[in-house]
Structure 1
Amino acid sequence: MTKFLLAVHVIAAIVAIGPVTVAASMFPPAARKVLEAPDDTSALATTRLLHRICQVYAVAGVVVPVFGFATASDMGVLGDTWLIVSIALTALAAVVLAALVLPRQSAILEGAVQGGTVDRAATARLAMFTGIFNLLWATVTVLMIIRPGSTTGA
């Protein structure tokens, strides 16, 4: 059962978290294109699509920690330090996404739609928060791969 849970956990992480990290990273440059060419409907459509990807896959990403907890419980490692740190970093990444990235994307899109303007400084701040989100997920991934006591010999 552990192998099944771990496989679902890893696949869910790839399928759900991967698109969020990529789309969120692509959003600030796409929003800057709207700033440079406010009448370019394809640039605006791109930013809308990237934001929608982030929203949908953020919700789908909930399955990652669900199967992570199930896997950790099955493996008997729920109290291990590396896992507790991973859980804390995952929670922090979720907060960054929900409180800093997605609302800023929405605000930038709103500004682009209503006034045809995008604040360059806002896109820079969004890029910074997106980078923090991505760094948190990268750290969790590394912890999952080189966890102390791993049977992989890493």
Structure 2
Amino acid sequence: MGRISGLVPSRFLTLLAHLVVVITLFWSRESNIQACLPLKFTPEEYEKQDNQLVAALCLTLGLFAVELAGFLSGVSMFNSTQSLLSIAAHCSASVALSFFVFERWECTTYWYIFTFCSAFPAVTETALFIAVFGLKKKPF
């Protein structure tokens, strides 16, 4: 039981670390948007890239809400498989998004990080919601 109890705070901290990096990215997205554009770009091109990145960041925040709801409601808090998946995904996302911010990676890279590090854990969290509330199964 000691190993599982260590997963709960680790999962919470990696979720928060990922959330902090995403919020930081909201504030400093201009340099990443410029990295996506050619040297000479129009305001319309900038606006389009900005809208795409803001949409991706908003989707990420929505998926955070799903994961935090499942975690804080207890549906997946003690599920070791979901915890390990979430820890790995959000830790990877925190590191990758830190590089995304500091190294000014292209905007298309964000979608890969989003898919593997935000969408996949949220889908598994949703599956746990369905199993617990819809099928009345134990979450662990």
**Normalising to structure 2: TM-score of the pair?**
0.46
Larger radius of gyration: 1
